[in-house]
């Protein structure tokens, strides 16, 4: 047998040995890097394929009335999800789902794209499934590999009241909403977030904490059991909040406002607690739960009565005569003003070439401050404006909280408008307005605009002689500071006395607000505010004293006409119902 000569030199042999050892060292170094230095990183990657993290939504906290009655609860519904990595032949499976649950397959596909976050993260396909639909899906489980369902707590309104503008609503977190949040990690796609009313204001209390479960999956993504070294974290329900609302008062107000447009607010003056509040028309509180078609949303949005507008803290209205107490306080603060001095009302008053009329065109005759208040005479106040200028009157309005938010615990509050000299100069020019503007503003007309919640705070301040807390809907330990008008006790007493005369005197414009109930005394002021967009608005504001209790009220009826004829009787009915419910509760 022939044997070839070894033509490899010793030098080449050493090079080959060196290269071999170098490769071995590189492999060992890479092995060390992967197994030792990169252990945590690659273990996480392996666990991502081996372990599936599933989150469960925490039930939101309940919303209760002041007596523990449930206003907002949670109702378990079913949500259909899919694991994209396990889902093959999507079109076919979406078609099966569509036939079973009655939802268009295009919508199912849109939801899949909308909520997709990754191959192994559950993606929502549909929500609000019934038990019957879930049963049908179970029957077709073999044909729906990668499709799952789980319970989801949805908001539920079991009480006899709507209170929709107070309670608000929640909204489903989608990609645009999540991107707009300051802390995106707090929410996942498909979570619910408070979007309006108390649901929004107290979101941090109500939302709770998601639960987390870890499942081990095989190479095909199928669940094979829990991961023992990663214990599950059960969801923590949100905190309950107790509101200041009384469900019986709220029901009374809602019934009174059926078929009307406007606002009623009832509360406790000293504490600022709101017992009931209605902005009418409103909407069903469950309007935003479940699936809403685009056309349904357009119908609500374009409804001419604007049910989505919260009139009690967003609506801007001329207040009319209900703010004459502000003008009276401005007058009484001037030492030269004599409240007993008389001025004659002849039904009209002329300044320059403009004629300003009283609502009682025949004229009230001789009036002092008290008789002018109880008769709601405009001419008396027209003839008294030489005791103040616009800025002094403006300061008085601001002292009572007008022209600024009340800081009520519902977002979206309007500030209103209290015109000053600088405002009028900017709007009309220095010579573009006259003293006639001051006449209008002194009786609650002209450029002056208020919200009903500001009026509520204003009457609370009068009833408590400047010590009222800010209006609020939820029992909390700390409240923002309220305005505190700095008036002498004699001035407060005088205003309260005149407001009682409005009700108790035979000529008082608010006498129909006094129910025939022994021990009940009502104080108030009516207003008929001219409205440039239609019929006059009817106002009544005041409070009732029943032994050691006080209940304040604001009634506004849009285009309702006369405050004394329409709004005052409604206030009387509310006071009657409050006393009736109290007596019934005392008998139990």
Assess whether pLDDT exceeds 90 at residue 331: yes
pLDDT tens figures, 141-180? 888 888 888 888 889 999 999 999 999 999 888 888 888 8
Residue 493 is assigned to a structural domain of this protein: yes
Per-residue DSSP letters for 174-241? -HHHHHHSS-GGG--TT-EEE-SHHHHHTHHHHS-B-EEEEEEE-TTS-EEEE-TTS--B--BPPPPE
Residue 35 is assigned to a structural domain of this protein: no
Residue 247 is assigned to a structural domain of this protein: no
Residue 29 is assigned to a structural domain of this protein: no
pLDDT of residue 562: 95
CA angle 416, 371, 378 (to 5 degrees): 45
The whole-model pTM stands at 0.87
Q: Give the confidence band of 296 by pLDDT, cuts at 50, 70, 90.
A: low
What is the DSSP-derived secondary structure letter of residue 288? T
pLDDT of residue 7: 67
Assess whether pLDDT exceeds 80 at residue 290: no
What is the average pLDDT across 94-99? 90
| Same domain? 416 vs 462 | yes
The answer to whether the CB of 190 falls within 8 A of the CB of 173 is yes
pLDDT of residue 123: 87
CA angle 173, 178, 180 (to 5 degrees): 125
Residue 357 is assigned to a structural domain of this protein: yes
pLDDT tens figures, 237-250? 999 999 999 999 99
| Same domain? 238 vs 276 | no
| Same domain? 170 vs 306 | no
**Domain of 169: which CATH number?**
3.90.1310.10
**The domain boundary residue, chosen from 242, 276, 299:** 242
| Same domain? 222 vs 282 | no
- H or E stretch including 417? none
Residue 398 is assigned to a structural domain of this protein: yes
pLDDT of residue 173: 87
**The domain boundary residue, chosen from 210, 242, 274:** 242
| Same domain? 67 vs 175 | yes
Decide which of 102 and 216 is more confident. Answer: 102
The closest of 212, 211, 213, 193 to 203, measured between CA atoms, is 193
CA 407 to chain centre: 12
Instruction: Report d(CA 307, CA 302) in Å as an integer.
Output: 10
Instruction: Quote the tokens at residue 479.
Output: 């409240």
| Same domain? 217 vs 118 | yes
263 forms bridges with which residues in the sheet?
A: 279, 556
The answer to whether the CB of 336 falls within 8 A of the CB of 387 is yes
CA 489 to chain centre: 36
Which span out of 33-37, 142-146, 412-416 was modeled with the highest average pLDDT? 412-416
| Same domain? 107 vs 58 | yes
What is the average pLDDT across 447-476? 98
474 forms bridges with which residues in the sheet?
A: 243
The closest of 334, 359, 337 to 348, measured between CA atoms, is 359
CA 254 to chain centre: 18
For the chain, the average pLDDT equals 90
What is the average pLDDT across 321-347? 97
- H or E stretch including 32? helix 10-32
Check whether the bond before 334 is cis (ω within 30° of 0). no
Indicate the number of domains in the chain.
2
Q: Which domain holds residue 126?
A: 54-242
| Same domain? 122 vs 173 | yes
Residue 297 is assigned to a structural domain of this protein: yes
| Same domain? 270 vs 214 | no
| Same domain? 303 vs 221 | no
| Same domain? 354 vs 461 | yes
Q: Is 338 exposed, middle or buried (0-12, 13-18, 19+ CB in 10 A)?
A: exposed
147 forms bridges with which residues in the sheet?
A: 82
pLDDT of residue 120: 72
Q: Give the confidence band of 6 by pLDDT, cuts at 50, 70, 90.
A: low
| Same domain? 236 vs 274 | no
pLDDT of residue 34: 76
Question: What b/e sequence results for 448-475 when a residue is b if at least 16 CB atoms lie within 10 Å of its CB, and e otherwise?
Answer: bbbbbbbbbbbbbbbbbbbebbbbbbbe
**Domain of 274: which CATH number?**
3.40.710.10
The closest of 358, 365, 418, 425 to 393, measured between CA atoms, is 418
The closest of 433, 443, 447, 445 to 352, measured between CA atoms, is 433
The answer to whether the CB of 168 falls within 8 A of the CB of 99 is no
79 forms bridges with which residues in the sheet?
A: 150
Residue with tokens 């609502």: 359
Residue 16 is assigned to a structural domain of this protein: no
Least confident of 30-34, 367-371, 379-383, 504-508: 30-34
């Amino acid at each position: 047998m022939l044997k070839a000569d070894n033509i490899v030199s010793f030098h080449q042999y050493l090079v080959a040995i060196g290269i071999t050892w170098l490769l071995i060292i590189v492999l060992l170094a890479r092995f060390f890097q992967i197994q030792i230095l990169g252990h945590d990183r690659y273990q996480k990657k392996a666990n991502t394929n081996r372990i599936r993290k599933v989150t469960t939504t925490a039930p939101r906290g309940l919303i209760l009335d002041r007596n523990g009655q449930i206003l907002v609860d949670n109702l378990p519904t079913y949500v259909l999800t899919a694991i994209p990595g396990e889902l093959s032949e999507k079109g076919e499976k979406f078609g099966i789902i569509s036939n079973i649950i009655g939802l268009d397959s295009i919508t199912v596909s849109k939801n899949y794209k909308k909520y997709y976050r990754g191959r192994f993260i559950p993606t929502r396909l549909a929500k609000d499934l019934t038990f019957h639909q879930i049963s049908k899906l179970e029957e077709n489980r073999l044909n729906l590999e990668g499709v799952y369902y789980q319970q989801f707590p949805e908001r539920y309104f079991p009480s006899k009241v709507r209170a929709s503008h107070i309670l608000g609503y929640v909204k489903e977190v989608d990609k645009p909403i999540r991107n707009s949040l300051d802390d995106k990690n707090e929410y996942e796609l498909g979570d619910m977030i408070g979007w309006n009313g108390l649901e929004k204001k107290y979101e941090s209390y109500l939302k709770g904490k998601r639960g987390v479960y870890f499942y081990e999956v095989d190479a095909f993504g199928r669940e094979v059991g829990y991961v023992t070294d990663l214990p599950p974290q059960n969801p923590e329900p949100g905190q309950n909040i107790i509101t200041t609302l009384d469900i019986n008062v709220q029901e009374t107000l809602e019934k009174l406002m059926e078929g009307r447009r406007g606002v009623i607010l009832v509360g406790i003056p000293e504490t600022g607690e709101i017992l009931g509040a209605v902005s009418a028309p409103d909407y069903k509180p469950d309007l935003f739960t479940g699936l809403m078609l685009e056309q349904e949303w357009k119908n609500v949005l374009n409804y001419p009565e604007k049910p989505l507008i919260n009139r009690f803290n967003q609506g801007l209205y001329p207040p009319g005569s209900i703010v004459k107490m502000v003008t009276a306080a401005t007058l009484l603060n001037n030492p030269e003003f004599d409240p007993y001095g008389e001025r004659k009302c002849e039904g009209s008053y002329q300044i320059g070439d403009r004629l300003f009329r009283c609502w009682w065109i025949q004229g009230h005759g001789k009036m002092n401050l008290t008789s002018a208040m109880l008769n709601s005479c405009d001419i008396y106040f027209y003839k008294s404006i030489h005791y103040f200028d616009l800025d002094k009157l403006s300061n008085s309005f601001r002292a009572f909280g007008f022209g600024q938010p009340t800081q009520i615990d519902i977002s979206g509050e309007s500030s209103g408008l209290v015109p000053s000299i600088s405002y009028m100069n900017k709007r009309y020019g220095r010579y573009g307005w006259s003293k006639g503007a001051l006449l209008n503003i002194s009786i609650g007309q002209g450029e002056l605009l208020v919200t009903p919640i500001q009026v509520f705070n204003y009457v609370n301040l009068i009833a408590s002689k400047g010590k009222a807390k800010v209006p609020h809907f939820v029992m909390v330990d700390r409240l923002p500071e309220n305005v505190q008008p700095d008036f002498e006790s004699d001035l407060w007493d005088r205003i309260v006395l005149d407001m009682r005369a409005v009700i108790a005197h035979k000529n008082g414009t608010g006498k129909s607000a006094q129910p025939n109930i022994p021990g009940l005394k009502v104080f108030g002021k009516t207003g008929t505010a001219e409205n440039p967009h239609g019929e006059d608005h009817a106002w009544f504001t005041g409070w009732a004293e029943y032994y050691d209790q006080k209940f304040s009220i604001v009634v506004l009826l849009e285009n309702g006409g006369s405050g004394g004829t329409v709004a005052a009787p409604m206030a009387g009915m509310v006071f009657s119902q409050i006393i009736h419910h109290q007596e019934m509760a005392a008998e139990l």
